[in-house]
Structure 1
Amino acid sequence: MKFYNREKEIEELKRVQGLAFTRNSRMLVVTGRRRIGKTSLIKQAFKDDGSVTLYFFVGRKSESVLVSEFVGHVREVLSVFVPEGMISFSNLMQYLFELGKTRSFNLVIDEFQEFYNINETVFSDLQNLWDSYRQDTRVNLVICGSVFSLMQKIFTDHSEPLFGRADNILQLRPFKVEVLKQIMEEYAPGYSNDDLLALYTITGGVPKYVELFCDNDRLTVEKMYRFVFSEMSPFLDEGRNLLITEFGKNYGTYFSILQELANGYYTQGEIEARLGGIAIGGHLNKLENVYHLITRERPIFAKPGSKKNVRYIIIDNFLSFWFKYIEGNRSYIELQNFDDLYHLAQADYPTYSGRVLEKYFRQKLAEAGGFKEIGSWWEMKSMSGKQKIEAFEIDIIALRARGNEALVAEVKRNVNNYNHKLFMEKVEHVKQKEMAKYSIETKFFSLEDM
């Protein structure tokens, strides 16, 4: 698949490179989940610009083995003599900074967080070297890593040596919906909106997953599902590979919480009941604020910090899909029963993708601009004389950036499932409760409006 999007990120990488080469060294950090395209972005930014780039990939090896590999790369790319017997990464960096006094080059260090497992003193050593050499050298240092929580800790935690050293931190996000549409137009001309929705539902716009579907010519709903739920599928262990590095050996409770969220249990109380009553407040807090895998949702007009009507959702489309259909049906995979697993997931696709369609339209509105807040609104109400509780919900409320104007929308996959009378009753209800001062525009979105 060809390279898409990222124009602003490339512009920033080139801007910082220009400052590094003409003034003094700069440090730029690129973060984001695995498969988001960090390495591809960096290579694209410096491709064919005449600059020299050293690329160090920090694998989980001994420091001496890594340094030996890096020294060979330095000799080859820079055509310089490097003293024999160098086994310390810090010594190699000092050598490169000395070179940076007389020549300019890009130095990319990929999977930088792995030094936590190799030699943690690298972080403080690099801080000392950076502080000593930055003003007198012309090195464009680009650091990236895919364990988001560790990269955040290294560069944004006040207690860490490298805090405040980065000139900028770029966090890569999935493709926008308009980019997904462009990709479908180029790789699957004549695609249906359902095909587009399936691509968004499964990948969430993560470039590597989109690339896998494009390069394997799997861009219809049926072909995507057949590809995902097959013996040779690259997706079967993907969620586990993504998260175990983040969570470490005590991943079990985190996986259980994400599993319940994927299955539609969105409140702390519901999840704790499903897990036998164990307390998960601390785990939810870490999933939200350390790992950034879930988000806490409140009705759009709720007060900040309110605990009423709070629910949690998985941010990442792929992980939500993976926990529900792959991790949640691991027994099918162990038995190599991929045909039944495919049929199980495909039968649920209309219902599951219908919920994702709401997220699609919220994202589409956000990308279009002109709004200061976009969310949903709901309240819980007890039925008279009964124990049953049901939700009163509006799919989308988008408050415009100027004036007291708002868009209130209902989302249904199927046009035939839309009840205009019921929708307008809900609009009137929320207007009386929360939006008396707003001028309201109403909309109905379906698969046809993607």
Structure 2
Amino acid sequence: MHDIRFIRENPEAFDAGLAQRRLEPLAAGLIAQDERRRALVTELQAGQARRNDASKAIGAAKAKGDEAAAQALMAEVGALKERLPALEAEEKAISEALEAQLAAIPNLPLADVPEGADEDDNLLVHESGTRPDFGFAPKEHDAIGPALGLDFETGVKLSGARFTLVRGSAARLYRALGQFMLDTLTEQHGYEQIVPPLLVRDEAMYGTGQLPKFAEDSFQTTDGRWLIPTAEVSLTNIVQGEILSAEALPLRFAALTPCFRSEAGAAGRDTRGFIRQHQFDKCEMVSIVTPEQSEDEHERMTGCAEDILTKLGLPFRRMKLCTGDMGFSAARTYDLEVWLPGQGRYREISSCSTCTDFQARRMNARYRPEGEKATRFVHTLNGSGLAVGRTLVAVLENYQQEDGSVTVPEALRPYLGGSERLEARG
């Protein structure tokens, strides 16, 4: 959500940010609406004050025996009583329309975000790890996985396209990955483990920017609640409507949850394999910080996700997303892309975003600086640490053996009873 005061005071900067997002200028129209709203508020307040004064004056006029004055005042009060509801209705309609417009505008990019149209314009920050050198032609995960328990056919039979049944060795590896991610974040990086609701109200989806613009990308229940598309929704909204003390910040939350996405905007993409599913598990990180902590926290959060990839021995690179590839609520996003030798390319495995105060305004989440009476909006950040299914894909492809077995990364062996290899079923 954008601050109309900022837009009034910085119209050129606001429109420049929109231009980087490939959007047309909006400041003039928003300011005009806000001026009309403010004029109506002023007129309403003046009308209400005059109605009150005139009502009191009626009695005084009658006490003096000035019936003509009393009648004139009564007529004026009657006219105001007819006029004020119309003004109130107009002010309410304009306020709601203005709020709806502001809610539909994406966050403005920070100054260091590269300008561009799509993923081809993203900026490489660094690469890490060594790509495996196979003595054979590496396979893609959908060729390796079935012998280990990735059951695509049964998943489709049960639920349709973009669902997979995970069984046997693959299921054990999947569980180990999720536990390893959560343990790393909570035990080594100071995140508080949360088990959040998977069903949330409209207000929570609105607070993090999924509503109203992206309703079609999520699943809604018959009673009006939403299946979370990411634990970011539940974790960030923990502070919805709260006024926090500065001393309590930063807050860092982590959760391993199922996530549900309709993938309405991804028709025809990644229809094979385990990359893009309607249901998947993800270990999510959320930070609630002061504006002064925000920059360092973004680097810290991204480093936590990178640490998990490093511990798993997976080669990856960090990309800074351009203005045309960032999400709706993000002011800056780092994508971590893992190397998939079967596909011969990097694929996204984590996105870590700072949203500045964009979500906080939607949630009305504030903090009170020490020694100050006024409150300020917090900054919110979120990131994947990591998407479990995509990490499973990366492990299968990077640790595959020619005989169809998969070597278990050393970091996961304690979670698999010391097993060093997952054997393919004949």
Per residue, is there more helix in 1 or in 2?
Answer: 1
Give TM class, smaller chain.
under 0.3
Q: Which structure carries more relative contact order (alpha carbon 8 Å, separation 6+)? A: 2
TM-score of the aligned structures, taking structure 2 as reference length: 0.23
TM-score of the aligned structures, taking structure 1 as reference length: 0.22
